[in-house]
Structure formats: structure tokens, C-alpha cells
Structure 1
Amino acid sequence: MKDFDSNLKYNNRPQNMNGFEEGVEFLPVMNTKKVEKRGPKRKFIFLGVVIGAVLLSLTIGLLVWHFKYRNASMQKIYTGQLRITNYPFLDAYENPSSPEYADLSAKVIEMLKNTYQGVPDLAPHFKQCNVTAFSEGSIIAYYWAEFAVPAYREAALEKAMSELKVKTVYLRHHSLLSVDSLVAFPVDIELARKFRDSGRTFFLHTKTGDVTKFSTSGFPNSPYPANTLCQWALRADPDHVIRLNFKTFKMEPCKTPYGDYVMVYDSLTAVEPRVLVRLCGSYPPSYNLTFLSSQNVMLVTLFTDDKGKHPGFMAEFTQVRKKKFCGENLRGASGVITSPYYPAHYPPDMECVWDIQVPENKHVKLRFNMFYLVGPGDPINSCPNDYVEINKQRYCGERASFVVSSNSSKTMVRFVSDKSYTDTGFTAEYLSYEPSNPCPGQYTCKSGSCISKMLQCDGWNDCRDFSDEDSCICTTEQFRCKKSQLCKPRHYVCDGVNDCGDHSDELECKCPEKSFKCGNGKCIPETQKCDRTDNCGDGSDESDCGKALITTCTDYIYKCKNNECITKNNPECDGEKDCSDGSDEVATMCNCGKRPYSRKTRIVGGVNADIGEWPWQVSLHIKNGLHTCGASLVSTTMLLSAAHCFQDEPAIRYSDPSVWTAYFGVHDQNKRTGNEIMQRKIKRIVAHTGFKDHTFDNDIAVLELDSPVTLTDFIQPICIPDSSHNFPVGKTLWVTGWGATTEGGSGSAILQKAEIRIINQTVCNDVLDNQLTPRMLCAGFLSGGIDACQGDSGGPLSSVEMSNGKVYLAGIVSWGDGCARRNKPGIYTRITKMRDWIKQHTGL
């Protein structure tokens, strides 16, 4: 509702008092009695005038409120659809310029007008209506209708529209329309008006075997125009559904509530209850942007504001035979079920039932390997929208791998999706098992999952329901958490990380009252914190003091180009000029660590990286064409890798630059060609002279390319951190590479990623028999299971900084005792300790 300005002001002109003054006679002051008899005193006259003026103003105000506010008209626009049952669908109805379209459209408009005129709460307020499209079934007409209603009648109008029903309507010339399924939804007035006044619609129809493409204007050579409103009405043949896939999607970053965005509807009219997805920002090419309709129509709408220049999108759609029945009767010892049309987003308005039966003497269980049934604002507890139902229990949301068991040889799986907002869906396998021994040679979780017996009572929730950690007796090498009662390894105590979740493993390490605990464990008086002096010895007492103040220089304090040192943790490239000379925000230094594609991956298993997700990852190949080591792009001509990759062997001189080729933008080692992939020869290799092959100390090397690479969305340099940059214990990092996925196994064709965390250096040194030097960084999990491996050497250990969104090179994959073993975390070259050496040999 708009705010109206009444433009009413109080009238300050003198009132006309002539009529009153004619009855007043001014007498000499001594004749007081006559004065009192001939008229009131002046103050009563004035009071009467004021009261009269107030009453007049109130009267005018009430009249204005009644006629201008209470009866002020509000514009209400509805859009919806209705089904016509007594006409067959003609191909001409797809063409808004055809006479058949115009004739039927006129009939629908007349029917809507007659219907509204018959409803008292609608008739006085109806303004106009129009038909926007037709589709099969028998005929579905899409329309909009406009009303102008006083504010106090708005609720009555909305109620009347929601209850509106029609069946058979007689029209002029003795024709009639049989109508059912009449629905209407209110729409945003501004958007509706803009589309009606300046929007463009493109009508596309695909056939079997056809791939129909469409894109934003100018794609990919020029950005889409600003202030654009357009839509694509997509159609398929009867008994088919539409499969829409966005091949490329690069638009303005998401804003709330507006900005540039795309809406996809399971309809030919834009209404919220039929939205399939709202898209904005950029998506990597491997992200699942495939959507299915429930019928043979779909609407794609584009809204752009007056800012931003981005390429836009390119999409294609095909038609797929509509499933007559969704689900199956499954008989056998094992099998696989998926959501309909997986791995595309499942369609809306679906119901599928799988009736599963395994051999009589076995029980059945389902293992869901991927599960994404998420809609905006879904309450996970009740699952009212999209869900899977098993044994009368509903499952929805985003879930890690989980198992559902049945206590019989039969089970029924029911999948339901509502009419809006679909998701990737699920894939599951059903298995049969012996009721007396569900996990032969393994531990059986309460959920029915099977895990190694070695994982029981190790302090980690391997079952995902904590059943492997229930009723455990802690050994002498373990520590019992207070709240969870979990048994954790004793060397987790006082490692600076809240492993228990309630800090009980760190409580014994607290400093005395009114003391500050340094990052290195030292305790200092609170008064020494933020006093511009490094009392801790690691700078941690001066790193979180709000404003950046000039302080004493140490190895742990950031030094500006003018040699001033400031009290701020990791100030470089955070968007604020903390140095007086601005040297912490130099553009050449800060043009790094950008990830055009950094959205969450939705790939089964969760270890495959997305295309373009780690654009500084480099694959180094020797002459035989095989991936040998990884590296990180740090400028258009320089790479950082591990020195141990370039140590000569009798069969080959790895120190010779001519034997190496660097590949950029690679995702799949089997596909090293394409527009996003580049390759360069190596011009120069500089391995650290202090590298020791028996200790792996100083494990770093610089590689110079024979020619610069061109930076793209798939090729970007990673940021090199300052020597004072703080990567705290417990911080999450990412290790990436094409190395072996199991110890002793073969390398992966697809780039892998793993999320690990920094481990306390003292604790790590204890479990690795004092093999660490200050130039090494320990990261992973002492429980094992996630680690770098053979073939990952030289690759990046990436740190995403929350303050500025940039990614920094925290380490280089160096060595480890096996892969992913317990108490054998991975060791990485610590970049902050090598900063001066890197600058010396790269100039960066």
C-alpha cells in the first residue's frame, strides 16, 4: 500500500468576523454594566473562535480520511490459471498472433469478467484482465487480473479470490466455456507492472531429439543489459516434461531482496507457489543446474537492475517422456533406487513408491549415499514439503550418508515432492542382511551402519549417532570429556582446540584470573594485552586490539613498507588501509586468492572438487605425460611447489626444467584439453638449498614459466601470506590434488579436496617422534581418515580468510608417515617461515 500525502495544511488566514462585530458597541469604560449586557468579554470571544476552528478542522480531517484514505484505492494484481474442458488444444494456441488464440483469449476474458461481476466483493473493484498463454490439458489458460480496492475492503477481496469457483459459463452468441481448476495468486505489483509495460517474452517449443538453446542478450561476448525484464516460455509435446539445463551461469552476486536473478517456474505464469528455483551469482560448470517440470511447460524469467556487468547464462532444454508411474516393485537381495530423473533436480508435484522385498530369511536396510531434499524455510522436524518416508518416519533436508534398517524382509519407500522448490534428490542402495549378524566382522551401529571395530571407543562419532562411543571405558591413554563422556586421546588435552565441545579438554590449561593466555600457551597479566608490546613472544596479545596502532616490531607483528609495525592480526588485503602508507592494501599484492566458483559442491562422496573451485592448482607432468606433482600458481609466471619433487634419480633428472610441463585449469586428468585449460613449459627451477631429503626440512621450490599464463575464471593466483600472518591451531584448511585416494593406491583422475585442520605443533611433534622443524606445519586429524597422499606432493594447502574472502597459501604438501593413519597427520611446508626466501626468488 502506498503512503499518500494529503497536502492538507491548516488555514492561517484571519476568519471573517464582520457579522459578529456588527453587534458590538464600544462604550466608555466607566459604563461597565452596559458593556456586560451588550456582549461577552474578548477572551470568551477568542475561545469560541478557537473551538470553532478546531471543530472545523476535525470535520475536514474526518471527511478527508473518509474520502481519500479509507476509500483510497489499492492496486491488486492476481495471476493464475484455469482449465477449459470443452475445447481441444490447437497448435495455434501457442502463437499469440494467431486468430485462434485471439478468439479463445476473448472468450476467457469475457468469462472472467462475468465471473467477477457475479461476486459482490469483486465486482465493484475489477479493472481489467488479460490472457498470457495457453497450454495442453485439455486447455490451460494463464491469465492476470487487476483490481482497485479500498484498503478496508482488501481482506474481503482476497478472501473472495481464494474461494472463487466456476464451472460452466455461458457467453454471448450462445457459446459456453466449461471451466474447472480455477486458481489465482497475488503477485508483486511493481514486477507485474514492469513486465506488462516493458517485458519481452520469447516462445520456444522443443521436439523429441531436439536440443533447444537460449541465452541472455549478447552472451557470451558482451554482458546482458541493465534494467532488463524478459522471459522464455518453454514448451514440450504432450505427455512429455521439460528438462532444463543451465550450461553456464555467471550473473551478479546474490543480493537481498533484489539485484540480478533468474526465476524458473513450473508454469507459464510467474507465481511464487510454482517456483522451482531462484538463481543468482555464479556457478561452476559441474554444479547441478538441471531442472524438470511436472508438465510440458516451464517459464524462465530474468530480472536485472541498473548495476553490474556480467556475461549472463546459456541454457538448453529438451523434452523427456513423462513417467506414467514413479516407483517399482523390487525383488532381490540388493539394488539401487533414486529420486526421479536423478541426478537432475526431481520434478515438483511427484509421488513415487518403491515396494522392496528381499529373501524371506533376510532383513532389508537402505543406505542413502546422497540426500538433498531442501526447500527455503523447510522445518526439518516435520518435513511438510519434500520428503522420503520409510516405516512411517519422514526424512528431509540435507543429510550425510545414513542407513535405515527394517526388522523384516519387506519395506516400503515413499517419495513426495510438493509443487515448488525442488532439489537434487537422493540415491540409495538397498541390501539384505542376516538378522543375527548384520555387519560380519564389523561393528554394528544403532542406525544399522557398519564400521570397523577399530573405530569403536576412539572418541569420534563414526556411526553418526554416537552408538560406537556409548558406554566406553577410557584407557590410560585417553581423557574423558565432561559433558559428552567421550574418550578422547590424552594428547588432545591442552592442544588449544576444543575437541570435547565443552572445552573440558582445555579447562586445565586456563591461566590464572585476570591473566591472558597467549597463543603459545604462555600466561601474561591482562594489563599487558594491547599495550603495543609483544609480551607473549608470538604477537597474540597484540593481534586482536581493534584499531591498528603502531607498535614494536617483532617476527609476529605486521610490518608496513615504511617499516612501521601495527597491532592488527592479518591486516593485508582486508579492505582497510591500516598502514599509514597504505602498503597493506596494494592492488598488485591483493589481486589474488579469488575464486569465481566457490559454491558448495554437491557430488556423491563429497571429495571431488568442482571445476574451477581451486583455480591456482597446477598439475606438473614429466615427459611421459603422467601427473607427478602438484604446484600453486602465485603469479602469471611463478609457481611454488615442493623441493623433493625435483630431486634427481638415476632414471630421470627431475631438476631439469625441460622435462616438465605445467597444466592449468585441469579438473580431470583424462581431459587436459579445452578452452579453460592452458599448458606451459618450465623455464627455471629453484629448489631451496637447505632442503634435506632425510628430514624434508625447507621443502620448497620456485618454478618460472617460459611464458605468462592468461588469468581466467579457471586460472587464478593464490595469495602468499605475510610472515606475520596467523594461522591458528584448529583452523580449517583445504588440501587438494590428484594423489592416491588410499595408501599405496593409484592416483585420482578427478581433482580431490579434503577439509583438515591445523594441529598443535607440540602435540604433533609428540606423535611423530620429534621430527618437526619450525618450517613445518602439521595438519589433518589425529584420528586419521583424511589426509594428502602420494601424488599430492607440491600442491597447495589453502586457507580461506573470513575477513576478506581471499584464499592464502598456508602450506605446501610435503611428507607424511603413510596416508590417513591414526596419529600420523600430514606435514606441510610452512609458508610464513619461507616468506623472505619466496620474495628473494620471485620478487613477490
Structure 2
Amino acid sequence: MGTEHEENEPTKGDDPSQQDAVSIADVSVEVATVDHTLQKLRRMYRKTRRKPKGLQRLWVRLLNIPHLAVIIAAVVFVVVVIMWSLLWVFIFRRESNSGVYFAGMFRVANVEFIPEYRQAESLEFVSMANKIQHVVSNVYKMSSVARLYKQAVISDLSNNNKGGVLVHFWMVFVVPRLKSTAVCEECVGAIFKDSVHTSMKNRSSVGYLLGLPVDIDSILINAVQRSDYSSNGAGSQCVDKLYANLPGTSVPLNVFSSWGVTCHVKLTAVPGSLIRLTVSSFLIEPSDCVNDALTVYDALLPMRGRILHRLCEPVSTSFSLVSTSNVMLLSFRMTNGNKVFRGHFEAIAEEICLSQIETQLKPDISGQIYSPFYPSLSPPQCACTWKFKTPGRNLGVALHFQNYVLKPKNLKACDQGWWRINEIIFCGNYVGHQTTFRISDHSPEVEFRCSSRNSAQPFQASYSSYNISQPCPESHFLCSTGLCVEKSRRCDGLDDCQDESDEVFCSRPTKNCGGKSPLHPLFVCNGESDCNNGRDEINCTQETTCSAIRYQCNSGSCILKKNAKCDGVYDCRDRSDEADCVCGHPSVVKKVVSPKGQERIVGGDNSVEGEWPWQVSLHFSGNLYCGASVLSSDWLISAAHCFSKQRLSDPRFWSAHLGMLTQGSAKHVAEIQRIVVHEYYNAYTFDYDIALLQLKKPWPPSLNPLVQPVCLPPTSHTVTQSHRCWVTGWGYRSEDDKVLPSVLQKAEVSIMSQTECKKSYGPVSPRMLCAGVSSGERDACRGDSGGPLTCQAPGGGRWFLIGIVSWGAGCGRPNLPGVYTRVNKFTSWIYSHIS
């Protein structure tokens, strides 16, 4: 590198070789000068730069590469810790705290009960409870669910009619949802029973649970809700205990609430007795037990398998029910409002129901037999035996029931009473009419056992002798129900037998218009001119004796005219036949264009808006499930089988779509407050397939004419060939269809005679009717259930609800019409609820 002098003063006028040397030197000088300048500037910068202070100094150090790697690692670690904590708090911890609760009971045999066991604070109770709790805990701590088991709590020790001590207890498991199946109700019960079963000997029902003698037949374990556990636990402020220490002494029960409570009353009676609870009145808001309810248990804990009875509606007429042992639990749930329960309970002796009965020689009523504890509701377990004897071997015993029928047992269990008559087993069923059961034996033994899961309605039957060779007098006809009716009343259009056995397979009666003999009842005042001379339609408003085929006015008098209701003519003297007739008169609003491919229900067409203003679409959990019809501003009518399963019976899952032509275009969507299923509904036969639905709020009158009630037919209502009948709904358009139509469908069908209906299906109930066409091309299908079959009176009259879509063999099959609930058989039942 040169000096400053060499850089600034180069030599002039030298030779070329020297010039080359100078050029090279210049280059070197130039390079050296740049490097030197850079070093100088760097030194100057170092002298003038200020040192960083505070956060700036820290930031500079952190920007150092080794420090940056440490920072990134630390940040990642903190994020992982935070995420894990969140997962623990919101997922894993929640999973681990998913409590599963059970209520159970069992009998400890060979242990003497002492009165101190009734007091949970006594030393005797605490000592025995701790011993039993230790045994129960050890059973589950040594089982496959040991890690999930948390604790057992002994709730009550009570005396038992079978001796020993009856134990009521709670069990709590802490279960992640992924392992919830490991503590199912059946699994928990099986662990307990297996522990006892291994020690049983000599066919005894008593085994040993870690040294504790336990009756295996008494073990019952039910899953319960957390609310059941918390509201019945030791810390609950609304649990009361009452004791009936003297048989026959009435202990009053009065519960009042104005702010809403969930309370429990535990009843206990002296050993060897039962408890009879009498409900005098119960003032609540009806809601299908969703809000207000009283549940009576045959135990001291709220166990599903021990429900005796549930009250979901107000009670104004006193009734009673009986337990199967000396304990009972009343579980009240009352929302805000003035809610009142009044009643009492008492200890009663176990009834020994065994009678020797001798009938009289005459076929007159000799006496009566009753269900055990009559008129109280029958408990799930009871028995009674009657030994009859008639005056002669040619005489048998006839049992005349008011609302009960006996039929031979099939493969299904007897749910409403088990009967053994001369070694033949029968099942009882409640019906809405009288029956007669005949036993062709002069000394039969009749054994009855209660077989309902809950308390059952009581029954009574009168008994008499009858001639085995001639059950009915010569002038009478023997019905399939066992009743005897006059032969002159056969094929008169009136169901005298209560099962239509006197009205089927009847030939078409002659009109006899010109003769002197009276006309057949089928032709008299049915709204059609069957005789050219008009003889059949004269004097129709004259009062006559009452029957099911004659219209009854509100005054109680009856007239010959069958279809007097809402026909525009005042037929009754009190004009009651034209009252409440704002129904069944649609006014079509507008036409719609049928979407291509959606023109069939089964052989039907698209409806137009306002054509069927009573049609309702019932949605369960947001999806179309059934149909219904509008009866009034706050009542609908549908089929019972739509609500037969436990979850389907909860009104909170249902909504009613009114004034709707196309799915999703309802003019009004209403919530359901309660569902009233007919008390005699039979899920096997679909008999009494009818239900009522009450809306939470009435639909507004401003929706007229798009929403309107359909007319209810009186019991005398007759459908003639001049009536036009249609079935409507949003159900499938064929048996194999997979897509529901969006537009309301309609199909015109014909009402068939009961004779034709029975030819297709066999013994259909008189509360059913068949409608369709012989080819099967027009029919209701799945999704139409509960919907209306309506018929219009001749001459453009009002529309009446004749049937409710119930059941059938497939959809649209030849010679297999649809089966509908016959509405006019239930007119009185309907008005008893909606009036």
C-alpha cells in the first residue's frame, strides 16, 4: 500500500514501460485506498455509536441466533402447556367427571329389623349402613369396573313383609364417555347378582355377598338421573318421612306449592301390611308429566322398575292405589303456580282372596266378583281364586264383565291380567264395552293374578248360571262377545254385539218401499231418497227411542235423522244440531302447479292451498312423522300408534305445522303441551288407535280460512254412496318409495262395508273401518298415519272426519284396503277431553 503522497502526485512524461508500471501501481493504490477507507469509517462509527440500554440491550441480545433458538423452544413449550391445560379442563376433566348413577334395593335375610333402623341419625342405622356399604363397595372394587366405581350410599333400611331388612342404596360411577357401556344397567346388576349366585345352595334364593345373606330375587338396580340422586340424597331439603304404625289409621298428606318444588315423601307402614294411598284432589297444570307430575313408587327410591302410578293431569274424583309391600315413595314435581295435593295413606292387611261361590238355579245374576283391593287400583302383584259350584251338572258359570274381556293366551305375555280356568290360560284386556265369558263346567276354579307392570284399573264381574247346551234363549242370537241379543236386531245396522258379529255377513236388506211393514233402519232418514215415494225420508225429526243409529240432541231426546249435525237445517227442538258448526267448510285460495314427478300419494294428486284447512303435519325432532287434524283452536286429533313408544310420548319433541300446502311453508307452527292416548289402546291389534294433542297456544283466528277445524261426526253419522271421501297427507307415494312428496297429496277412496273389510283382514275391530279401491291404486301409506279420512255430505255439504289413518298390509295392494280408526265410535270420548 502507498502513502498519501504516492496517491496524490504521480510522475509525468515517463517512457511506456514506466507508464505500465505506474498503471499497475495505480491499481494497487486504488484497492488499498478503498480498504483503508472502510476501516477508517468503521473506527469512526465505533467511536460515535451509543451503547443500548434497558429493553433495547435485551432485545439486541435476544436477536443473537443462539438466544433466538432458546426463545422459540420456550414459546413452543408454553403453547403446548396451555393447550394441554385447556384439553384437560374442557375435555379430559369433563370426561372423567361424567357421573353415572344407579338406585338399587335388596333384602338382607336372617337379620332382625329393629325400629332404630328407620332413623338415619341413629348409631344402629349408621353401623348397619356402614357394614352393608362396605360389602357393596368391595363387590364392585373387585369387579371389571373397579376403576370406574366411586361410592355406594345406603339411603334407607326398612322392615320387609318377607322378613329381614330391605336395603335401599345409591351407587355412583365416574365414567369417561368412551367407556360408558361398561357400566350399563344390565352390567351393574349382573355383577351384583353373580356375586350372590355363586354361593347359593339347595335351590334357595338366599346367597352370601361376602358373608352378608342376600335374597337374589329381591335385587333390583335401575339407572337414574343425577337430579334423582341429588334431590333424594341426604343433603336434600325436601324429603319427608311418614310412618303408619297402626293398621287402619289414616295419615293425612297435604302438599302445597306456589314457587315450584321437587319434593319426595317416603311412606312406611308396620311389617306385614301394605300401604293404600288415597288421592282426594291434585291441582296441577296438565303437561304429560313434563312439568307437573306425581310419580308413586313401590319402593323408597325413584326406581323406574318400581313405578306404581303416574299422575299427569288434575284429579277431582277421589281414587286409591295399593303397594305390594309396606313402603312407598311419592315424588312430586310442581312448577310455579298454586299447586295442591290432598290425600292420605293407611296401613292395610294383605288381602287373602279366596272364595267359595254357589250360583242360583235361575240364570239371573247371583252376585259379583271383584279385582283384589277393589275399588282401588290393582297392584302389580296380587292374586285371587274363586271356586264356583252350580246347582246342576248341565249348568255352567257365566261371568259378565263391564269393561273387560278374556281371550286365550298366545305367545305374548298377559299385560292386563293372567287367568287360569280349569287349567286353560287366558289373558284379560280392558275394553270399552260389556262382555260375557262362559265356563262350561258346573264346578270350575277360576284363578286370577295381576300381571301389569304398574297399577291397573280395577274390574268387577257379575256371575250367574247358564244352560251349557243352550247359552242364549231361543229368541236370541249369541254374539262373539258372549252377549245375547234378540234375533230381530240382527242386521239392523246397529252394533248390538259390541263386536259387529250381529252385523257382518248380512245380505242387503230389501227396501220394501211400497209395503206396510216398516222400512229397514239402514234406509230410514239417512239423507238419501231410497224410495221413489220418499217414504224413507219423511218424519225424520220426530222424536223416538234413542240408539246409536239415531241422532241425540243436547236435550237428551233423539230423532230419526242420522246426519242431522251441521246440515244447515234445525232438526232438534233446542237447535243443538246446528251449534258449533264453524267447521268442515274449506274455501280454496289458489291453484298451484304440480311439480313434475310429485303427483301421487298412492294414486293421488297434488292439493291446492286452502283445500284441506284441517290437515296438520306432525314433526318429531324436526322431521315429518305423522299427520293430524284440527278439532278446535287448541286441540288436534291423530293416531295413538304415533306416540306409542316412550320417547315418542314426550310432547316436547313434537311440533304441529298448520295451514301448510308444501312442507316448510306452514302458516303456523305450534308446540304440543300434552298428548292424550286412549286408555284402551292396544299396540298389538291397533284397537282404539286414537289420540288427542293439546297445543300450548291456540292458533290465531287470523289464519282463517287456511286453518279450520274439521267437523266431528255424531255416533249416528252414516256414510252413504253419495258421500265423497278423501284421504290426505304427505306420506310416501308407494310402498317402495324413498322420497317423501313436498306438496300435500289427496286421493279419493270409497268406504267399504265391514263384511268386505273382514274378508280382507279377518277379525277387525268395530272401531275400525276399511277404505280404498279394490285395485289398490289409491291408498294411504307410511307418513300418513294419524291423518284424516274426510267425507263430504251430498250437495256440497260440510266435511266430517270419518276415519284416522291407522294401519294396513303394505300400501296400495289389491284387495287390501287401508284400515282407519272409526271416529264416530269415539265422539263422546273426544268431547270428554276437549270440552
Structure with higher Rg: it is 2
Normalising by structure 1, what TM-score?
0.48
